Structures are given as structure tokens and as C-alpha cells.
């Protein structure tokens, strides 16, 4: 991996962790966004195939958003420990809050969230600041070229030794099989290649069912009702997606404070109309319905995905208490 490639990979890692785009699809994150041990060293060991991986007596289930935050924080600590063992300083990357993880939804229907965050511009600004000035970035960029490469390989591994996974919608995705990010996930989730495979399978299903949601007459009807409401409030938009597409042009020429104020006003109108017309509720219901249907074709992958996430949560809590 060249020095340029290592820096790109490094900066993308920070940006992804900070901005938290929960999905590449339009609908996903509506469901997740609404939900609101002992420290025994053995609990950190890699589980064997077939081993029960939920907490003691706890049913395997989806994690809440708050629990996802716990796991992400633990991963940062484990990466820090790994890098320190290899002689590198490391500062855990920013972990998105519960509020931040609501950004990017198909439609905003939380009025209070809209009043505070608009469309999440404060999160965008923080992500860009982290990309440019997080201690990991500034330290990495100040190193001589060969040290930058060594640091990046210790953190992110080398694509010359990578795992490839086929995506449900077609194509493949690759990731290095070593590096401190991999080690941290190995310690949390267990068998890393298995975790990477099931994660990319389950989270890669959205292109298969989102087009069906967008064509569903129930959503089409709700969007039309929402659009009428928005027109009546003086905001003529045909769909939430139209706002997303025009978002930057709507605040062109404004400073940061003016842009945020304008977006808050529009986001509040969007949320009020989404509540009035039940667009958010309809989108969440359809997302759950179509996702469940699609997941039925991948029962083993989904079961393993849930199990490993429960394992990671248990281990994250043990790490916090040790």
C-alpha cells in the first residue's frame, strides 16, 4: 500500500466514524434511529463455532442505538491498546452520539430533534474538523513518509492481504485481515472473517428492498400528503428526498450560523408535516416489513450477525468494568 493510499484510508476511517452515515439507502435508520459484568479475561476470548453468544440468559436480539454506542466506544479503547502495544500513540476516534445517529434519515419526524439539529449540519462540521485536525490525523501527517506507512499498516492493515466478501446486491467488498481495527473487532465480535461477512451481508441488503418501499402505494400516498402539507406551510417540495438533493443549494451564500438557522426552520416544517401525515411512521413500518422479508433469504447470516453483536455488547461492558 502506497503512502498516498494509506493516508486516504486513514482519513476516510476518521470521517466515517465521525459522520456516521448509517446507510447508503434512503429509508434505513428510521427504525434504528427511533429506539431509543465481571471483567473476567475469559469473556474476551474468541468464541468457538456453535458457542452461545448472547449474555447469560439473554435472548438474542437487535441492539439499541445506545448499545451500539457502547460497542463503538469499546472498539476505540481496544484499538488504542493495540496501537500502544505496537509502539504508536493513538487517540480513540469520535463516537457518534445517539442524536447524531438520527441524522440522514429518509424523513425527519422528530420535531424536537429538528429544532436542535436541523438536518445535522453541526455533525457535518464536527466530522470535517475531525478529518482535518483530530490528533490521529495531525500526528500521522507529521510523520516521515515511511513512518506514515508503518503507522497506517499497524492501524488499518494491508490490502495485499485482504478478505473479500460478495454483496447481496452484487459486487464484492475487500478489507485487510490484519491491523488494530481488525484486532479490536476480533476481540469484540469473535471470528473476524465471519463477522465481516455477515455484517456486510445484512447491512448490504438495503439496495434489494428500498426500491420496493419507494414504489409501495402506502409510501407514495403518504409522501403526497406530506407534500401537500409542506406546500401549505410555504415549503413547496415534492418529497423529503428533494430537500436532501437541494439542501446545499438552499443555503448557498450563507454563513454557518445562517445556514443552520435556515435548515432548522425547514427541518421543523418537515417534521411537523411528517407527524401530521404519518409519513415517518409509514416509512418505518414499511422498512421493517420489507427488511424482514428480505432477511428471510439470509436466516443464518442474520442469526449470526445478531449473536455476534450481542457478544460484542457483553464484552464491551466487561471491558468498561475491568
What's the pLDDT tens digit per position in 175-229? 999 999 999 999 999 999 999 999 999 999 999 999 999 999 999 999 999 999 9
At 252-265, the pLDDT tens digits run: 999 999 999 999 99
Asked whether residue 162 is domain-assigned, the answer is: yes
Asked whether residue 258 is domain-assigned, the answer is: no
Q: What is the mean pLDDT of the chain?
A: 86
For 109, which DSSP code? -
pLDDT at residue number 136: 95
CB proximity list for 45: less than 8 A, separation 6 or greater: none
Distance CA 288, CA 209 (A): 10
Q: What is the pTM of this model?
A: 0.81
CB neighbours of residue 303 within 10 Å: 13
Residue keyed to cell 476516534: 93
Residues 298-305: what's their mean pLDDT?
97
Helix (H) or strand (E) run with residue 14 in it: helix 3-19
Q: In terms of residue numbers, what domain contains 56? A: 3-209+288-321
Asked whether residue 266 is domain-assigned, the answer is: no
At 48-90, the pLDDT tens digits run: 333 334 444 568 899 999 999 999 999 999 999 999 999 999 9
Q: E-assigned strands of the chain?
A: 162-166, 172-176
With 70 as the cut, is the pLDDT of residue 141 above it?
Answer: yes
Number of domains the chain contains: 1
Residue keyed to cell 448557498: 252
CB 79 within 8 A of CB 180: yes
Q: Residue 163 in 3-state DSSP?
A: strand
Asked whether residue 191 is domain-assigned, the answer is: yes
Amino acid at each position: 500500500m502506497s503512502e498516498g493510499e494509506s493516508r486516504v484510508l486513514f482519513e476516510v476511517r476518521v470521517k466515517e466514524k465521525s459522520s456516521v452515515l448509517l446507510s447508503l439507502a434512503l429509508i434505513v435508520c428510521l427504525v434504528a434511529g427511533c429506539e431509543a459484568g465481571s471483567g473476567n479475561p475469559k469473556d474476551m476470548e474468541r468464541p468457538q463455532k456453535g458457542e452461545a453468544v448472547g449474555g447469560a440468559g439473554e435472548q438474542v436480539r437487535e441492539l439499541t442505538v445506545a448499545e451500539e454506542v457502547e460497542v463503538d466506544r469499546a472498539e476505540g479503547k481496544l484499538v488504542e491498546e493495540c496501537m500502544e502495544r505496537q509502539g504508536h500513540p493513538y487517540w480513540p476516534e469520535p463516537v457518534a452520539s445517539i442524536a447524531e445517529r438520527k441524522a440522514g434519515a429518509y424523513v425527519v419526524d422528530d420535531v424536537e430533534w429538528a429544532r436542535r439539529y436541523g438536518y445535522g449540519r453541526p455533525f457535518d462540521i464536527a466530522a470535517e474538523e475531525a478529518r482535518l485536525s483530530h490528533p490521529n490525523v495531525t500526528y500521522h501527517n507529521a510523520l516521515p513518509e515511511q513512518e506514515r506507512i508503518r503507522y497506517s499498516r499497524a492501524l488499518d492493515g494491508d490490502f495485499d492481504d485482504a478478505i473479500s466478501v460478495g454483496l447481496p446486491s452484487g459486487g464484492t467488498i475487500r478489507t485487510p485481515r490484519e491491523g488494530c481495527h481488525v484486532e479490536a473487532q476480533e476481540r469484540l465480535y469473535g471470528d473476524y472473517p465471519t463477522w465481516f461477512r455477515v455484517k456486510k451481508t445484512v447491512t448490504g441488503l438495503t439496495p434489494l428492498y428500498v426500491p420496493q418501499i419507494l414504489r409501495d402505494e402506502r409510501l407514495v400516498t403518504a409522501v403526497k400528503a406530506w407534500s401537500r402539507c409542506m406546500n401549505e406551510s410555504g415549503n413547496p417540495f415534492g418529497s423529503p428526498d428533494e430537500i436532501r438533493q437541494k439542501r446545499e443549494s438552499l443555503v448557498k451564500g450563507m454563513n454557518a450560523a445562517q445556514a443552520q438557522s435556515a435548515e432548522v426552520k425547514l427541518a421543523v416544517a418537515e417534521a411537523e408535516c411528517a407527524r401530521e401525515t404519518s409519513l415517518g411512521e409509514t416509512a418505518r413500518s414499511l422498512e421493517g416489513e420489507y427488511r424482514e422479508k428480505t432477511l428471510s433469504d439470509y436466516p443464518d447470516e442474520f442469526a449470526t450477525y445478531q449473536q455476534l453483536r450481542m457478544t460484542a455488547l457483553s464484552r464491551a461492558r466487561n471491558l468498561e468494568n475491568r
